[in-house]
Structure 1
Amino acid sequence: MAGQLRESARPPGDARLVVETMYQVAADPEAWEQLVQVLDDDGQEPTPELVRNLALSEDIARLTQRRDEGPNAARRPDLGWVLLSPGRKALAWNGAAAEILGGMGELAQGQAIVFDDPANDEALAQACARTQRQAGQVIVKLDRDDEEGPAFAYLTRGSALAGLAGADLPDSLDADAGLALVFPAASVTSSLWASIRDSFGLTPAEVRLARKLRDGRTLQDAAAELAVSVNTVRNQLRAIFDKMGLKRQSDLIRALTELSSLAGLIDGQERARAQEMELLQAPPLKFVSLSDGRRLAYREYGDPLGKPLLAFHEGLGSSLLPPGSERIGRELGLRIVCAERPGFGQSDPREDYSFEGVAADMVELCDQIGLDRVRIGGVLSGAPSAIQTAIALGDRAVKVQLYSGRPPRAPEFTPGNPLVMFRRGIEENSWVLESFFAILRMRLSTAMLERIVRRSSVHSPGDLDYLDSHPETSTFLTAYIGEALARSSRGPVDEIRAFRRARNMDIGALRAPLVVWHGEQDHFAPLAPLLAFLGDRASEVNVMPGVGHMMMLKHWRGLLADAAA
Structure 2
Amino acid sequence: MDDTKRANVALVIETMYQVAANPDAWQQLIDALADAGELQDMPPEAADDMARSQDIARLTARPEEGPAPVGRNDIGWIVLSSRRKALAANNLAQEMMGAGLGRLKIGAELAFDDPANGEALIQALTQSRGQAGGQTILRLDRGEDDGPCFAYVAPARALPGVADAAALELADDDQAYALIFPAVEETGKLWSSIRESFGLTPAELRLARKLRDGRSLKEAADELEVSVNTVRNQLRAIFDKMGLKRQSDLTRALTQLSSVASAIEIQTPATIPLASGDAPPVAAITLKDGRRLAYRDYGDPAGRAVLIFHEGLGSSLLPPGAQGLACEQNLRVICAERPGFGQSDPSPDYSFDAVADDMVELCDQLGLQDIRIGAILSGAPSAIQTAIRLGSRAAGVLLCSGRPPRPASEIGVKNPLTLFRSRFETNPWVIETFYAILRLRMSSQLVDHIVRSSTVNSPGDAAYFGQNPHVAKYIATYVGEALARTSRGAADEMKAFRRAQNLTVADLTCPLEVWHGDQDVFAPLADLLDYLGDKPREVRVIPGIGHLMALKHWDEVLRRAAA
SS at match of 1:498: helix
Read off the aligned partner of 2:490 and give its amino acid letter: P
Distance 2:131 2:476 in 1: 17
Alignment of 1:381-420 (within 5 A): 381-413=378-410, 414-420=412-418
Q: Offset of 1:553 from its aligned partner? A: 0.5
Change (3 A) 1:66 1:340: closer
SS at match of 1:458: coil
1:466 aligns with 2:500: no
2:272·2:476 contact (CA, 8 Å) conserved in 1?
no
SS at match of 2:469: coil
SS at match of 2:507: coil
Distance 1:395 1:358 in 2: 19
Q: Offset of 1:278 from its aligned partner? A: 2.4
Read off the aligned partner of 1:536 and give its amino acid letter: D
* TM-score for both structures, normalised by structure 2: 0.62
Query: Which of 523, 541, 546 is the matching residue for 2:544?
Result: 546
Read off the aligned partner of 1:363 and give its amino acid letter: V
Q: Tell me the residue number matched to 1:215.
A: none
Q: Tell me the residue number matched to 1:492.
A: 490
Distance 1:24 1:273 in 2: 21
SS at match of 1:11: helix
* TM-score for both structures, normalised by structure 1: 0.61
Distance 2:336 2:401 in 1: 19
Q: Tell me the residue number matched to 1:478.
A: 476
2:520·2:546 contact (CA, 8 Å) conserved in 1?
yes
1:463·1:550 contact (CA, 8 Å) conserved in 2?
yes
Q: Offset of 1:350 from its aligned partner? A: 1.1
Q: Tell me the residue number matched to 2:338.
A: 341
Distance 2:497 2:2 in 1: 20
Distance 2:368 2:272 in 1: 29
1:20 aligns with 2:24: no
Distance 1:538 1:338 in 2: 23
Query: Which of 289, 299, 303 is the matching residue for 1:302?
Result: 299
**Which deviates the most, 35-44 or 466-475?**
35-44
SS at match of 2:515: strand
Report Cα offsets for 1:515-551 as digits up to 9, x if no partner: 0011111111110000000000011001110011110
Report Cα offsets for 1:465-486 as digits up to 9, x if no partner: 1111111111111111111111
Read off the aligned partner of 1:299 and give its amino acid letter: R
Read off the aligned partner of 1:406 and give its amino acid letter: R
Distance 1:527 1:273 in 2: 35
Q: Tell me the residue number matched to 2:43.
A: 47
1:525·1:549 contact (CA, 8 Å) conserved in 2?
yes
2:311·2:379 contact (CA, 8 Å) conserved in 1?
yes
1:454 aligns with 2:452: yes
SS at match of 1:377: strand
1:520·1:546 contact (CA, 8 Å) conserved in 2?
yes
Change (3 A) 1:66 1:350: closer
Query: Which of 520, 524, 527 is the matching residue for 1:526?
Result: 524
Report Cα offsets for 1:307-330 as digits up to 9, x if no partner: 000000111111010010001101
Change (3 A) 1:388 1:302: same
Change (3 A) 1:22 1:368: same
2:341·2:487 contact (CA, 8 Å) conserved in 1?
yes
Q: Tell me the residue number matched to 1:61.
A: 57
Q: Offset of 1:341 from its aligned partner? A: 0.6
Alignment of 1:25-174 (within 5 A): 25-39=19-33, 40-43=36-39, 45-63=41-59, 65=60
Q: Tell me the residue number matched to 1:555.
A: 553
Distance 2:363 2:497 in 1: 24
Q: Offset of 1:276 from its aligned partner? A: 3.9
Distance 2:12 2:352 in 1: 29
Q: Tell me the residue number matched to 1:505.
A: 503
Report Cα offsets for 1:462-519 as digits up to 9, x if no partner: 1111111111111111111111111110101111111101011021110110000111
Report Cα offsets for 1:377-428 as digits up to 9, x if no partner: 0111100000000000000000100010000001122521110000011111
**Uncovered stretches (5+) of structure 1, i.e. residues with no partner:** 1-6, 74-162, 167-257
2:300·2:327 contact (CA, 8 Å) conserved in 1?
yes
SS at match of 1:43: coil
Q: Tell me the residue number matched to 2:326.
A: 329
Read off the aligned partner of 1:282 and give its amino acid letter: A
Change (3 A) 1:293 1:273: farther
Change (3 A) 1:9 1:328: farther
Distance 1:305 1:343 in 2: 29
Q: Share of identical aligned residues, percent?
A: 54
Q: Offset of 1:273 from its aligned partner? A: 10
2:273·2:476 contact (CA, 8 Å) conserved in 1?
no
Report Cα offsets for 1:117-152 as digits up to 9, x if no partner: xxxxxxxxxxxxxxxxxxxxxxxxxxxxxxxxxxxx
Distance 2:305 2:429 in 1: 39
Change (3 A) 1:558 1:28: same
Report Cα offsets for 1:36-72 as digits up to 9, x if no partner: 1011443354421212111100111112x289x99x9
Report Cα offsets for 1:133-192 as digits up to 9, x if no partner: xxxxxxxxxxxxxxxxxxxxxxxxxxxxxx9999xxxxxxxxxxxxxxxxxxxxxxxxxx
Alignment of 1:242-391 (within 5 A): 276-279=274-277, 281-391=278-388
1:315·1:492 contact (CA, 8 Å) conserved in 2?
yes
Paired residues in the alignment total: 367
Read off the aligned partner of 2:27 and give its amino acid letter: E
Change (3 A) 1:330 1:504: same
2:504·2:531 contact (CA, 8 Å) conserved in 1?
no
Report the aligned-residue RMSD. Answer: 2.9
2:371·2:396 contact (CA, 8 Å) conserved in 1?
yes
Change (3 A) 1:465 1:274: closer
Change (3 A) 1:557 1:8: farther
Report Cα offsets for 1:432-472 as digits up to 9, x if no partner: 11110011001111111111211221111111111111111
Q: Offset of 1:275 from its aligned partner? A: 8.1
SS at match of 1:542: strand
Distance 1:448 1:46 in 2: 27
Distance 2:488 2:41 in 1: 21
Read off the aligned partner of 1:56 and give its amino acid letter: R
